[in-house]
Each structure stands twice: as C-alpha cells, then as structure tokens.
Chain A
C-alpha cells in the first residue's frame, strides 16, 4: 500500500521506462540535486540505459584551495574575526593535513558561523576595533546576498569589513563540460534556485549553441524525477530546448532586482575552480568602487596557490562527471568525511559525500 508520493513516483518511473528507447546520459548540475537524488534513492528507480552523472554545482567543492589557505591564515590573526558559512568550516586547504577553519577555531581563532552574509555587518558594527572578514562563496543564488552586504557596508562606510571572494557562475562550468573532449552528457538538469535569480536566458543561449536539452527543476524527489522525464522526452523527440519545470519559483526572466544588485557590485572575472582549473569569466570580482572591501587587497594576500600536486584527490574528474566517487581508490578508505582528502567528501553537496552517506 503506497502513499500518494510513492504512487506518483512509481508512475513517473514507469513513464520514464516507457519513454526511453535508447541509452542516454544526463547530468544534474547542482550538488543539492545530487544529494536529493542519492538520498531518495532515485538513481535506483531509473530504467537501464539512463545514466545520471553528477555535476560541479557544489560551491564548497569548487572554492579554490588557495582561498581556503588564505582564510586559514587570516583566522590565525588575533585582531581578526573570520566569518563563514558552516559548509566551509570542514574543508581542507591545499594540504589535507593542514587543518580546517573548525580546527582553527578550536585552536583559538575567532571563527564565526553565519547563516547569512548580513550577520557579518552586525558583527563588524559590534566590533569596530577589529577587522571582520567574510568568506564569500557560492553560485548565482548566493551572490545577491554578498552584493547586498557590500552595498550596505558601502552605505555605512564601514572601515572594518572585507570580503574574501570566491563566487562562481554556472554557465561557464556547463560550457566546460559540454566542450570537454570525450564529453558524454546529452542533457542537463539545471539548478532551480540559480535560475530564480538568473532566469533562463543564459541557458537558452547554451542550448542554441550546443543543441542539447536543459530542464530547470526544483529539489524535491518528485520534481527531480519529473525533470528527468522531461529531459528524456526532449531527447527522444530530438527537440532540444530549455524547459522551466520549476515555474512556481522560477520566472523565465529571473529576478532583475537581484541581478542589478550583483551587477552594481561585481564584474565578471576569471576564476580558478578547485579541481577544474581556470575558467574564463566564471567568477565575480568587486568593481572599483568596492575595491576597499576586497580582503585580498586589504591584507595583501598572495594569489599563488601552494598547489595540490601531491594530493591523490580526483575531485576534478568527479566534478566533471568523468569519474564516479566509487572509482576513486581513496573513497571510503584514505578519504572519509572525518579526514577528507578534498572538498567533495566533506561538502554537504559533494558527490563523494552523497555516495558515502547514502549508497549502500
């Protein structure tokens, strides 16, 4: 006897099986989608021949190791308060044995956990004698919040707040995956909340250029399954386009106010993605009017990365979907959430963490 949800899911699984007439390989871009899929066991309900590979949409996973290293160094300074989302606190830097922000806090560093960038403003106002640095990571969903923080800090002429930036954009990552030699991805599930800000125009450009379907989905298991069905239907029909299957939250035009705020504060810049390397125009940098809020300038932090050449972590291959977490020799052995070699094992959205936590 099934609940309404399980009956609806079974129906979708049946429809999917009935629609698939040849093997297809799809990618869900967002780490949140990956986790929802693996946590619900949706991958067990897919018909044979339908392969789902996991994309790089995990902002924690792609934040450059050099940025973590910089945050760790800043956290050792007694006059400084380092503010960060909880997600970043367990991520190792270039050296997997070199500690993380949580350990820095245990060693006496003033590391504060935030659930919103706006909390950094209050901390800076409460401690005018101390420097407050906010580790600002995330995709397009999170950038408006960082932009708002910057605008408010400018308006208040706060002298003791700065941003250690590592914001990234989804379309360049999708572009890199599509154009990589040996790419097998034929269709995408795009991240619904990124699209709530950006709308679908960038995705439409990509579809026109590369002729593969992109379906915008929510994060509930039924929404994801429905999204998979839509994507397969588009592939079977040979009609690649962008389909917004998350209309209750995503307007095709996105959120223009949020985008305007981001554009006022930030400009596009090259960005290094941990595991993927440098992608052009894939990051955000502060515009000149906001340069004084840049922690790298304020504290003269070097850009050079220590490099992770000795680290056996294969996160780059995982993030591009070229390898599965279970393909990694260190998975579950040398690399576990308690002692991760890289970010995808410790991030709440990382593919390696999802497999470790949920896959029997």
Chain B
C-alpha cells in the first residue's frame, strides 16, 4: 500500500531546527538520496545504522530499511520500457 522506492545515500547531515547543542539527536539526521536521477532529502530517524553509500527503501520521506545489495538485481531488473 506504499510507494516505497530504493535509493542510494549520497550524503548525511544533521539538521536540528535552530541549532542543537546537545549533540546529534538522531531525530534530525537526514540524508541526500539518489533514486536514479532524482534526488530527495530523506529522514534517517528510523534508520540510525544507515551510512553513506547504503541503499535504502524510502516511504513518505523516511528511510525504513536497508536494501541488501547482493539480492538487488534479481527481480527488480531493468525498467519495462525501452531506453531512448
């Protein structure tokens, strides 16, 4: 029931509103994720173990799960259309 697509983490940042002097609250940890040509800012609040280079499944702007690399290609496969 959920459009959740995999993307790769390009960079990770910490964006607490108005400065956070109590160290890095994971609630405000965000990543720049590349979904194959389109990039979005994604919250890592639910995935504290995620690192740059990881592939993650993202739903409504939140990373929910790491995608196991070795099993990536099997069923996802190429896009159904022709490459121009």
In the complex, are there CB atoms of A and B closer than 8 Å?
Answer: yes
Residue pair B45, A148 in contact (C-beta under 8 Å): yes
Residue pair A220, B76 in contact (C-beta under 8 Å): yes
Q: Mark each residue of chain A from 18 to 40: 1 if its CB lies under 8 Å from any CB of chain B, else 0.
A: 00000000000011100000000
Q: Which residues of A contact B57 (CB under 8 A)?
A: 193, 196, 249
Interfacial residues of chain B within 12-69, with CB under 8 A of chain A in the complex:
17, 27-28, 43, 45-48, 57, 59-62, 64-65, 67-68
Residue pair A32, B3 in contact (C-beta under 8 Å): yes
- Residue A160 CB within 8 A of the other chain: no
Which of A125, A194, A220, A247 contacts B17 (CB under 8 A)?
A: A125
Residue pair A194, B71 in contact (C-beta under 8 Å): no
Residue pair A248, B71 in contact (C-beta under 8 Å): yes
Q: Which residues of A contact B67 (CB under 8 A)?
A: 248-249
Residue pair B62, A148 in contact (C-beta under 8 Å): yes
Q: Which residues of B contact A191 (CB under 8 A)?
A: 1-2
Which of B60, B68, B76, B78 contacts A116 (CB under 8 A)?
A: B60
Q: Which residues of A contact B45 (CB under 8 A)?
A: 148, 257, 261
Residue pair B2, A32 in contact (C-beta under 8 Å): yes
Nearest B residue (CB) for A152:
B27
Q: Which residues of A contact B6 (CB under 8 A)?
A: 249
- Residue B4 CB within 8 A of the other chain: yes
Given contacts A5-B77, A148-B46, A155-B27, contact A141 B61 (CB under 8 A): no
Nearest A residue (CB) for B30:
A118
What is the size, in residues, of chain B's interface with A at 8 Å between Cβ atoms?
A: 30
Given contacts A116-B61, A220-B77, contact A141 B4 (CB under 8 A): yes
C-alpha gap A249/B1 in the complex (Å): 15
Given contacts A115-B61, A145-B61, A247-B68, contact A255 B75 (CB under 8 A): no
C-alpha gap A218/B61 in the complex (Å): 19
Residue pair B77, A32 in contact (C-beta under 8 Å): no
Given contacts A139-B2, A155-B27, A249-B57, contact A196 B64 (CB under 8 A): yes
Q: Mark each residue of chain A from 120 to 144: 1 if its CB lies under 8 Å from any CB of chain B, else 0.
A: 0000010000000000001101101
Which of A5, A31, A223 contacts B1 (CB under 8 A)?
A: A31
C-alpha gap A171/B65 in the complex (Å): 21
Residue pair B17, A156 in contact (C-beta under 8 Å): yes
- Residue A58 CB within 8 A of the other chain: yes
Q: How far is the CB of A41 from chain B (nearest CB, A)?
A: 12
Q: Which residues of B contact A258 (CB under 8 A)?
A: 46, 62, 64
Nearest A residue (CB) for B46:
A258
Q: Which residues of A contact B72 (CB under 8 A)?
A: 248
Residue pair B59, A145 in contact (C-beta under 8 Å): yes
- Residue A59 CB within 8 A of the other chain: yes
Q: Mark each residue of chain A from 239 to 283: 1 if its CB lies under 8 Å from any CB of chain B, else 0.
A: 000000001111100010110010000000000000000000000
Known contacts A193-B1, A261-B46; can you find 12 more A-B pairs with CB under 8 A?
A4-B77, A5-B77, A31-B1, A32-B3, A141-B2, A141-B64, A145-B60, A191-B1, A249-B67, A251-B65, A255-B65, A258-B62
* Chain A residues packing against B (C-beta within 8 Å): 4-5, 30-32, 57-59, 85, 115-119, 125, 138-139, 141-142, 144-145, 148, 151-152, 155-156, 191, 193-194, 196-197, 218, 220, 222-223, 226, 247-251, 255, 257-258, 261, 349
15 A/B residue pairs, CB under 8 Å, sorted by A: A30-B2, A117-B61, A139-B1, A141-B2, A141-B59, A142-B59, A145-B43, A155-B27, A196-B4, A197-B64, A222-B75, A248-B74, A250-B65, A255-B65, A257-B48
Task: Name the 3 nearest CB pairs between A and B, nearest first.
Answer: A116-B61, A248-B71, A258-B46
